[in-house]
Amino acid sequence: MKLIVKEYDLDSSEPAVIIHDDDCIRLGVKVHDRVRINSGDVWVSLVGNSDTIVEKGQILIPNIYLKRYNLKDGDEVDVAHSPKPDSVIYIRKKMDNKTLTKEEIYAVVNDILEAKLSNIEVSAWLTSLYINGMDLDEISHFTNAMVDTGDRIVFERQPVFDFHSVGGVPGNKVTPIVVSIVAAAGLMLPKTSSRAISSACGTSDFVETFCDVELSAERVKEISEEIGAVFAWGGSMNLAPVDDIVIKVENPLGINPRAQMLASIMSKKVAIGATHLLVDIPMGAGTKIPTMDVARAYVRDFTDLGHKLGMHVECAITYADQPVGQAVGPILEARECIRVLEGDNHPGSVVEKACALAGMILEMGGIPNGADKAKELLESGAALKKFREVVAAQGGNYDIKSSDLVPGQYTQDVVATKAGFVHSIDNKSIVQIARAAGSPSDKGAGLLIFKKRGQRVEKGDVIMRIHADNEAKGIRAKELALRYAPIHIEGMLIEKG
Amino acid sequence: MKLIVKEYDLDSSEPAVIIHDDDCIRLGVKVHDRVRINSGDVWVSLVGNSDTIVEKGQILIPNIYLKRYNLKDGDEVDVAHSPKPDSVIYIRKKMDNKTLTKEEIYAVVNDILEAKLSNIEVSAWLTSLYINGMDLDEISHFTNAMVDTGDRIVFERQPVFDFHSVGGVPGNKVTPIVVSIVAAAGLMLPKTSSRAISSACGTSDFVETFCDVELSAERVKEISEEIGAVFAWGGSMNLAPVDDIVIKVENPLGINPRAQMLASIMSKKVAIGATHLLVDIPMGAGTKIPTMDVARAYVRDFTDLGHKLGMHVECAITYADQPVGQAVGPILEARECIRVLEGDNHPGSVVEKACALAGMILEMGGIPNGADKAKELLESGAALKKFREVVAAQGGNYDIKSSDLVPGQYTQDVVATKAGFVHSIDNKSIVQIARAAGSPSDKGAGLLIFKKRGQRVEKGDVIMRIHADNEAKGIRAKELALRYAPIHIEGMLIEKG
């Protein structure tokens, strides 16, 4: 049946076209059916008899599908009913806790990317993965399927080092420091990072306060091969793009199934051609990895999967039962990160973590006494120089100083209501407070933690300062801070008896 | 934030409102977030910056929510961001294979009905139920939650008998016969039925060819108490309405989790106040219940759940490895059903099944030798008289005759290509062929099977006749019949050696 294309710009996160009810009857399709448009397949999740939204003889197609199928407003297209793809059967097979073949996994990944599967089906897929899981062979196929449905970057310069932090700990601004140290040692580490989804601030969220992170694949290759490093936002390249679709379904459910998580991370690394990968596994109460047993299972997963994928993978289990350093939020974290590169030894937790991780990568690259060498490159200013080269290559100011970064002007102090020692800091509450202040979309928003675990606090001491770009958000964040009281203070009991 | 309501008539099967992108930023909401409208909650799955679809300051709300919240086009409403409901946590709990409390199950059911859960979340719920299941206490709470979120019918006349066929076998037109026999014996059986979803023809699909099935709850009560029976479409009353929402998500996945299936069926029975229930469990290859073990598990489930719900439940396991009778499709089934009531002893499978089931209900009602009594009521014409009373009460013609029912004029015969005995008939293919012919929406469409299992066939015999209201569909159905060859013919080998 011939219909006239009308562009439609509704962001529904569901691949959907809209057809007039009368035309649906003639086509024999109803809500949740799929229609085939010319040679391609598009899922119809919306069909309606709206006079205001669609007219008879029209088909409303979202912009992104117009691009994909090389269509434009006013084109005449041939529309027909399309049967369910076989991938629905493979999703059912995973529900029944069966092992999927390589071909079946590729079919599911391909159909998610090509919008042949609806949110309902992707949700069932993720729920099945969450409950029934995948074995390592399946995860390896899954990873490769995600790589093969996107672009790759092929570097002339080899080997390609990479670094990934599993995330979950607020204030983790070590990435640009680690990368700068590694590049200063002469190794190449083309780092792609993400933006925050539910966390307070992703690496790209704070790096973009001082340089551009949306780089093309060509530019990532050029900068990395010339300078040895890059701090790019992974989302600006087409690496394992199916991940972006899946994340939109994971978020409302609040799940990140192990198989999906491993395949998502490793597919980005394979796509960028990583030969050596260090995975930082932050472990601590209130994070994704609460115990040493869970952390060790992650280590096994990453190293075994790396082996299957032909990549040398090492893991570092790091402590994450409180935020890393003092600062949480884009400008605040950027400032703390650059201060460390400038030679500030405070906060020690940031310096220690960055040097330990960079040191492991140096040793993977054949440089002995990695941690000492990393410290040396940081203290000599070699890492800062490398950092500035990358910033300049990404359109930032080579002469950037930490003092250039000014956090939100509206501040709210939280004071201790009693004296004692900081017993623990609740990561989840810290994230909520920083987000209430406006982080990560308000670049100046966030918070500074002045007292960390084990430190002595006197009644009336400022233990936390909230920064905001907007006064109302600052006040709301402080209300949350008083309600959550995330910094727990207790008397230190040496002996009981 | 104040927005002006604009009615929107898009059938998206997802509870969704549309807000202009600028307003979304001001509200702090994005795709997949929920907004609260005045006192109620509506899920926003669609937000967009479409000039053509929504203007700044407007909120597009689907008709059904306008009714629910007593809103109309042009009203000013207060719109605010709404947090995730707790039911998302309980869905996660079921993903983790934990037992849910009564309160948790009620929260999920209530939030599905009130559109606080999106398709993504309902899909995760159903997938979790499919994989992890529920124990009988949970299913009992689930059933009651589904009852309590809808209307009930309270009969003065007691006891209330009911009958349910788990479905899955094509051509199963016994329901009006069973109900008529039971009512002729003086018992009351207010039968609500469904329309086909994926099957060839539901009971309501063929009953509505000779009388109205869309009855109000009041009318169901009146007719049942006066005549002793009714053949109503369950969907026209508000009994366990959450089921209708869930079915729309089950269909694309092709699943019907045991807990959901049991709660769906039993909630309709509780809502109608059934005190005695007979469940027909058709067992056979190619049906939902392929083996005796599966059938026995269903028997246990229904009787135990009935016990928990205070209902007397008995089950009949019936053979379903081929269609019941000859006819499949609305008018064809209606004609065969009425012929049996008129005294036609053919097809014997329909007569036998109807009398056996009716007999069990009679015995539950204290009438001894139920099957014999049922046969007697059928042969005496008492059941036909009762049937006609119900038809007339539902707006049909009291003097209805089977010959009044004329199937689709476009016929296609399928002939045997070899001689032999019918070895088996594939139910699933029969359903696909009938649907291709236009059943159940084209009332005259369907097929007649002339040769059943064990019957002798000569080469060239007509083994199946397809009826259609539309020639093209008839041809398509025949093509499918030749491709599937659902009636398997083999030489009968008496002895080998």
**Of the partner residues A52, A84, A95, the one whose CB lies closest to the CB of residue B127:** A95
Average pLDDT value for chain A: 90
Please give the average per-residue pLDDT across B163-171, as a whole number: 87
Residue B342 confidence (pLDDT): 97
Please tell me if residue A481 touches chain B, with a CB cutoff of 8 Å: no
A314 Rama sector, left if φ>0, alpha if ψ -120 to 50, beta otherwise = beta
Same domain for A67 and A98, yes or no, is no
Lowest pLDDT segment from A348-362, B209-223, B286-300 = B286-300
Same domain for A66 and A194, yes or no, is no
DSSP B20: B
Residue B375 inside a domain? The answer is yes
CA distance B430 to B449: 9
Chain A closest-CA separation from residue B93 CA (Å): 11
Residue A83 confidence (pLDDT): 78
pLDDT at A496 over 60: no
Residue A491 confidence (pLDDT): 66
Secondary structure of residue B7 in the 3-state scheme: strand
Please tell me if residue A88 touches chain B, with a CB cutoff of 8 Å: yes
Q: What percent of chain B has a predicted confidence (pLDDT) above 70?
A: 95
Residue B246 inside a domain? The answer is no
Residue B489 confidence (pLDDT): 87
**Of the partner residues A13, A48, A132, the one whose CB lies closest to the CB of residue B11:** A48
Structure tokens at A25: 């009857």
Please give the average per-residue pLDDT across B288-306, as a whole number: 92
Please give the average per-residue pLDDT across A220-227, as a whole number: 97
Same domain for B390 and B322, yes or no, is yes
Same domain for B346 and B468, yes or no, is no
Residue B47 confidence (pLDDT): 61
Residue A153 inside a domain? The answer is no
Same domain for B210 and B277, yes or no, is yes
Residue A154 inside a domain? The answer is no
pLDDT confidence tier of residue B12, bands split at 50, 70 and 90: low
Find, among A289, A296, A313, the residue nearest to A162 by Cα. Answer: A313
**Of the partner residues A92, A118, A253, the one whose CB lies closest to the CB of residue B124:** A253
Find, among A214, A205, A219, the residue nearest to A233 by Cα. Answer: A214
Chain A positions touching B476 (Cβ under 8 A) are none
Which residue in chain B has the smallest CA separation from A90?
A: B253
Same domain for B395 and B418, yes or no, is no
Summarize pLDDT for A190-200 with one digit per residue, the tens.
Answer: 999 988 877 89
**Of the partner residues A10, A21, A130, the one whose CB lies closest to the CB of residue B18:** A10
Residues in A 13-32 with any Cβ partner in B closer than 8 A? 13-14, 16, 18, 21, 31-32
Hey, are the CB atoms on B92 and A123 less than 8 Å from each other? no
Same domain for B392 and B265, yes or no, is yes
Please give the average per-residue pLDDT across A150-171, as a whole number: 92
Chain A closest-CA separation from residue B68 CA (Å): 20
Please give the average per-residue pLDDT across B452-476, as a whole number: 92
pLDDT at A91 over 90: yes
Question: At how many degrees (to 10) do helices A119-132 and B242-253 cross?
Answer: 80
pLDDT at A31 over 90: no
* Domain containing residue A280: CATH number: 3.40.1030.10
Residue B38 confidence (pLDDT): 81
Q: How many domains does chain A have?
A: 4
pLDDT at B264 over 70: yes
Whether ipTM tops 0.90, in short, is no
Residue A428 confidence (pLDDT): 87
Same domain for B423 and B454, yes or no, is yes
Chain A closest-CA separation from residue B253 CA (Å): 6
Lowest pLDDT segment from A6-15, B88-97, B158-167 = A6-15
Same domain for A229 and A357, yes or no, is yes
Residue A308 confidence (pLDDT): 96
Residue A341 inside a domain? The answer is yes
pLDDT at B13 over 90: no
pLDDT at A371 over 80: yes
User: Which carries the bigger pLDDT value, residue B453 or residue B354?
Assistant: B354
Please tell me if residue B321 touches chain A, with a CB cutoff of 8 Å: no
Chain A positions touching B97 (Cβ under 8 A) are 131
Please give the average per-residue pLDDT across A117-144, as a whole number: 95
- Boundaries of domain holding B451: 410-490
Chain B closest-CA separation from residue A261 CA (Å): 17
* Domain containing residue A470: CATH number: 3.90.1170.30
Q: What percent of chain A has a predicted confidence (pLDDT) above 70?
A: 95
Same domain for A10 and A119, yes or no, is no
pLDDT at A134 over 90: yes
Chain A positions touching B18 (Cβ under 8 A) are 10
Hey, are the CB atoms on A11 and B18 less than 8 Å from each other? no
Same domain for A375 and A329, yes or no, is yes
pLDDT at A135 over 70: yes
* Domain containing residue B22: CATH number: 2.40.40.20
Which residue in chain A has the smallest CA separation from B63?
A: A50
Please give the average per-residue pLDDT across B92-106, as a whole number: 97
pLDDT confidence tier of residue B48, bands split at 50, 70 and 90: low
